């Protein structure tokens, strides 16, 4: 293909190859599901070996970074190191633990009735397989894309990303692109442009052990209960949604109940507090001398972890409750990509081409590695399949979603690198992708 090839021509060739080789993509996705990478314990060496081999077979040079030997990360690229625009396709390699209750093996990768089953199918083997397959197609078709396309694969997403994407962004400058696309679960109706933040806290209280019959004034567990009540009061903090996100949230409210559960509309702009674990005392008839609780606080855009911690200190004082010892286990502020960013416009335009209607920019409730890219100033979106039974037995994705995700990602790669993000293409037919397995 000549250097003068248009985005339209390149996109058409790439989509045609996706259609012709759809069975190959499905098989690749199934292969990745069959390789366990549960976190915990977090050992991703087997799936890393597979990914590295696949990319090398496609002709790409692969760099490995392993700040933790059992959790290696991979980075590969197409295009000159200094070329612009620069798009990053990010995937994580770890999954939730399989758990019990499955109908068959949790790593079967079985395909039946238009579905692909297995732990991690939605979170995020579809995105992983799509990224790998696009790399192979671009090489096989000898596409001369302008700019640079980087593929990153991280091993630590399910346990916080400290040794995965966060580490890569801190130590590998080549990962700092002009935009990032992540194929994690979201639902093809949605384009994740922002996420709630989080603050994980460990609260400790102390008391004095004595026989319960002689008074409980110095009970550590009683102090902890009162402290948790104060912590729960954070849910009444008023919304502080940035003006740029308000139209996004208002449109989102009408849809998220059906997609994410009936509580979703109410918590989009609200702090939520989950008391995950509570431990204290040694015997029913002894006053506890120590107690500890672990709490997950989720933060909507406009409310930071610093704000939450400062508010807690004020409310402990106002309630006359001794402030417990507070350990911040982890925290990440809420970030979002402006709706007018090129990566958002490219994803919207290509979702319209593939689905027949544009997907809706949304604020996601759960966290992904997108937060690290956004915190680094890199505009980032999440576009992936709808998750069915994620984290539970019999997780699956639909083959329809796999096809849609692959086609949208292919179009975004082309449009973003050609600098035509969001451009209308009157010669490009709309409508959903035709699914070859039917």
Is residue 136 pLDDT above 70, yes or no? yes
pLDDT at site 337: 96
Residue 162 to residue 171: CA distance in whole angstroms? 12
- What is the DSSP code (8-state) at residue 144? -
How many CA atoms lie within 13 Å of 81's alpha carbon, on the beta-carbon side?
5
Residue 437 to residue 400: CA distance in whole angstroms? 9
| Residues 117/395, Cβ–Cβ less than 8 Å | yes
Looking at per-residue confidence, does 22 or 215 come out higher?
22
pLDDT at site 265: 81
pTM flag (> 0.85):
yes
pLDDT at site 160: 87
Instruction: Name the least confident of 56-65, 379-388, 423-432.
Output: 423-432
| Residues 211/287, Cβ–Cβ less than 8 Å | yes
* 292-304 pLDDT per residue, tens: 999 999 999 999 9
**Where does the pLDDT of residue 360 fall: very low under 50, low under 70, confident under 90, or very high at 90 and above?**
very high
Q: How many CB atoms neighbour CB 279 within 10 A?
A: 12
Is residue 83 pLDDT above 50, yes or no? yes
Please report, for residues 4, 387, 432, the alpha-carbon distance to residue 8 in angstroms, rounded to integers and kept in the order given. 11, 31, 18
pLDDT at site 212: 81
Which helix H or strand E contains 325, and what residues bound it?
Answer: strand 325-332
Instruction: Name the least confident of 296-305, 349-358, 362-371, 427-436.
Output: 427-436
Is residue 3 pLDDT above 70, yes or no? no
Q: How many CB atoms neighbour CB 142 within 10 A?
A: 8
- What is the DSSP code (8-state) at residue 186? S
**Where does the pLDDT of residue 426 fall: very low under 50, low under 70, confident under 90, or very high at 90 and above?**
very low
pLDDT at site 200: 95
Angle at Cα 344 formed by Cα 343 and Cα 350, nearest 5°?
90
Q: What's the whole-number mean pLDDT along residues 126-140?
A: 98
Superfamily, domain 7-195+335-417:
Zn peptidases (3.40.630.10)
* 205-233 pLDDT per residue, tens: 998 888 888 777 889 999 999 999 999 99
| Residues 108/381, Cβ–Cβ less than 8 Å | no
pLDDT at site 430: 34
Is residue 433 pLDDT above 50, yes or no? no
Looking at per-residue confidence, does 429 or 286 come out higher?
286
Residue 75 to residue 360: CA distance in whole angstroms? 30
Looking at per-residue confidence, does 308 or 261 come out higher?
308
CATH class of 197-239+262-332: alpha beta
Is residue 431 pLDDT above 90, yes or no? no
The mean pLDDT of the chain is 92
pLDDT at site 423: 52
For residue 347, with 0-12 CB atoms within 10 Å meaning exposed, 13-18 middle and 19 or more buried, which class applies?
buried
Q: What's the whole-number mean pLDDT along residues 84-110?
A: 97
Q: What's the whole-number mean pLDDT along residues 269-290?
A: 94
Residue 170 to residue 165: CA distance in whole angstroms? 9
Is residue 44 pLDDT above 90, yes or no? yes
Q: What's the whole-number mean pLDDT along residues 276-287?
A: 94
| Domain segments of the chain as ranges | 7-195+335-417, 197-239+262-332
* 142-188 pLDDT per residue, tens: 999 999 999 999 999 998 899 999 999 999 999 999 999 999 999 99
Residue 390 to residue 384: CA distance in whole angstroms? 13
pLDDT > 90 in the chain, percent: 82
| Residues 157/149, Cβ–Cβ less than 8 Å | no
Q: Which of 430, 422, 411, 427 is nearest to 18 (CA)?
A: 411
| Residues 340/226, Cβ–Cβ less than 8 Å | no
């Amino acid at each position: 293909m000549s250097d003068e090839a248009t985005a339209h021509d390149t996109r058409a060739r790439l989509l045609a190859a996706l259609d012709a080789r759809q069975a190959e993509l499905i098989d690749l996705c199934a292969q990745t599901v069959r390789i366990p990478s549960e976190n915990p314990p977090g050992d991703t060496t087997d799936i890393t070996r597979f990914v590295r081999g696949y990319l090398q077979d496609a002709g790409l040079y692969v760099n490995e970074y392993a700040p933790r030997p059992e959790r290696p990360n991979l980075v590969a690229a197409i295009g000159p190191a200094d070329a612009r625009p620069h798009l990053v396709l990010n995937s994580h390699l770890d999954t939730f633990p399989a758990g019990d209750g499955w109908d068959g093996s949790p790593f079967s990768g079985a395909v039946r009735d238009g579905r692909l089953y297995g732990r991690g199918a939605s979170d995020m083997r579809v995105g992983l397989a799509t990224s790998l397959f696009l790399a192979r197609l671009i090489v096989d078709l000898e596409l001369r894309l302008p700019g640079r396309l980087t593929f990153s694969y991280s091993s630590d997403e399910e346990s916080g990303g400290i040794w995965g994407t966060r580490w890569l962004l801190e130590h590998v400058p080549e990962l700092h692109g002009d935009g990032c696309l992540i194929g994690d679960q979201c639902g093809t109706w949605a384009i994740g442009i922002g996420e709630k933040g989080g603050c994980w806290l460990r609260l400790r209280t102390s008391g004095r052990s004595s026989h319960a019959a002689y008074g409980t004034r110095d009970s550590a567990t009683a102090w902890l209960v009162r402290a948790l009540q104060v912590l729960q009061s954070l849910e009444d903090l008023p919304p502080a949604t940035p003006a740029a996100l308000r139209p996004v949230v208002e449109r989102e409210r009408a849809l998220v109940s059906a997609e994410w559960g009936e509580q979703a509309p109410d918590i989009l702009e609200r702090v939520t507090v989950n008391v995950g674990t509570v431990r204290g005392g040694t015997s029913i008839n002894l006053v506890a001398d120590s107690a500890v609780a672990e709490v997950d606080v989720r933060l909507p855009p406009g409310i930071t972890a610093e704000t939450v911690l400062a508010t807690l200190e004020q409310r402990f004082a106002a309630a006359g409750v001794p402030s417990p010892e507070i350990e911040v286990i982890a925290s990440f502020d809420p970030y979002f990509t402006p709706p007018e960013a090129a990566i958002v416009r490219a994803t919207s335009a290509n979702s319209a081409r593939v689905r027949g209607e544009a997907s809706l920019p949304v604020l996601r409730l759960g966290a992904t590695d997108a937060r690290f890219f956004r915190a680094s100033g890199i505009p980032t979106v999440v576009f992936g399949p709808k998750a069915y039974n994620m984290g539970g037995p019999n997780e699956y994705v639909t083959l329809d979603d796999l096809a849609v995700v692959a086609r949208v990602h292919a179009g975004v790669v082309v449009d973003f690198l050609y600098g035509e993000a969001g451009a209308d293409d009157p010669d490009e037919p709309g409508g959903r992708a035709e699914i070859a397995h039917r």
